[in-house]
């Protein structure tokens, strides 16, 4: 079974500092990895995804994520945090190695990012 | 282009009551999904649909039914609501069900069952 772990319930960072939100995964085959963001009282918005190729993926709003196969990680990063980045961030994984049938998207529990002025 | 919309935004039910949540998408997507979000548990898939007239069970289907009579709509029904179904419900859609596809989410419905 596939799974995602987000080890931090909350990450605090000062505006202007770099931020990292951690994600590790477990799949039987090759992973397809996603990051979503949820602002208060809103639905999830897609940020970026890793399918194949370059291990550094660039996404919306200046976010990027680094895929590390040996560490089974897909950490979300941003060089300079903004107060408006404060939100709930979800990592999700799909197993690319499944045969026939639908492959569900498994979400982590989410990490709350708080950026202070 | 409204994307994915959900009706209603909020609802309070008494135990045993029934209700239907409506999801609509205007992106001509084939796949649609219903998730529930509970604190500390992320999103869990309830049911999904791979096309008009089809539905399938997800991770937590018990107590829910769904229908996809039209391609753009996906309905989630609770026949006899229970307090354990208090949650925030999200609908999502994707163009196809490919493992690389991005899912697009609606704004959510906050349901409280007393």
| Whether the Cβ atoms of residue B29 and residue B97 lie closer than 8 Å to each other | no
Residue B51 touches chain A, beta carbons under 8 Å: no
- Select from B98, B101, B104, B100 the least CA-distant residue to A101: B98
| Whether the Cβ atoms of residue A18 and residue A85 lie closer than 8 Å to each other | no
Provide the token pair at B60.
Answer: 């937590």
CA of A30: which chain B residue's CA is closest? Answer: B99
Answer whether A32 sits within 8 Å of B45, measured CB to CB.
no
A30 pLDDT tier (thresholds 50, 70, 90): confident
Q: Determine the 3-state secondary structure of B85 from DSSP.
A: helix
Which of the residue ranges A98-102, B43-47, B67-71 would you say has the lowest mean pLDDT?
A: A98-102
Q: Strand ranges (DSSP E) for chain B?
A: 4-7, 10-13, 19-25, 31-37, 43-49, 56-57, 65-67, 73-78, 87-94, 104-105, 109-113
8-state DSSP, B52: T
Q: Determine the 3-state secondary structure of B17 from DSSP.
A: coil
Query: Which residues of A fall within a CB distance of 8 Å from B108?
Result: 41-43
- pLDDT tens readout for residues A50-85: 988 889 999 999 999 999 999 999 999 999 999 999
Residue A70 touches chain B, beta carbons under 8 Å: no
User: Does the structure show a pLDDT above 80 at B96?
Assistant: no
Q: What is the mean pLDDT of chain B?
A: 92
Q: Determine the 3-state secondary structure of B84 from DSSP.
A: helix
Q: How far is CA B73 from the centre of its chain?
A: 10
Better-predicted residue by pLDDT, A18 or A43 = A18
Distance (Å) of CA A1 to CA B41, B46, B90, B94: 17, 17, 23, 23
Residue B59 touches chain A, beta carbons under 8 Å: yes
Tell me the sheet residues that pair with B12: B112
Q: What is the pLDDT of residue B98?
A: 67
Q: What is the pLDDT of residue B101?
A: 79
């Amino acid at each position: 079974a596939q799974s995602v772990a987000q080890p931090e319930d909350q990450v605090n960072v000062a505006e202007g500092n770099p931020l990292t939100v951690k994600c590790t995964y477990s799949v039987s085959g090759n992973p397809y990895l996603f990051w979503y963001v949820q602002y208060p009282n809103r639905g999830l918005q897609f940020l970026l995804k890793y399918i194949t190729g370059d291990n550094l993926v660039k996404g919306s709003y200046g976010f990027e994520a680094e895929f590390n196969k040996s560490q089974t990680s897909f950490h979300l990063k941003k060089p300079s945090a903004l107060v408006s980045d404060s939100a709930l961030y979800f990592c999700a994984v799909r197993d690319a190695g499944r045969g026939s049938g639908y492959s569900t998207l498994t979400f982590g529990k989410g990490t709350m990012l708080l950026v202070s002025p | 282009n409204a994307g994915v919309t959900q009706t209603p935004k909020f609802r309070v039910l008494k135990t045993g009551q029934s209700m239907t949540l409506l999801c609509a998408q205007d992106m001509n997507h084939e796949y649609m999904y219903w998730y529930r979000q509970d604190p500390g548990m992320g999103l869990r898939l309830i049911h999904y649909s791979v096309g008009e007239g089809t539905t399938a069970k997800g991770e937590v289907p018990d107590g829910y039914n769904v229908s996809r009579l039209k391609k753009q709509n996906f309905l989630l029904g609770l026949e006899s609501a229970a307090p354990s179904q208090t949650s925030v419900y999200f609908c999502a859609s994707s163009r196809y069900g490919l493992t690389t596809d991005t899912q697009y989410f609606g704004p959510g419905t906050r349901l409280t069952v007393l």
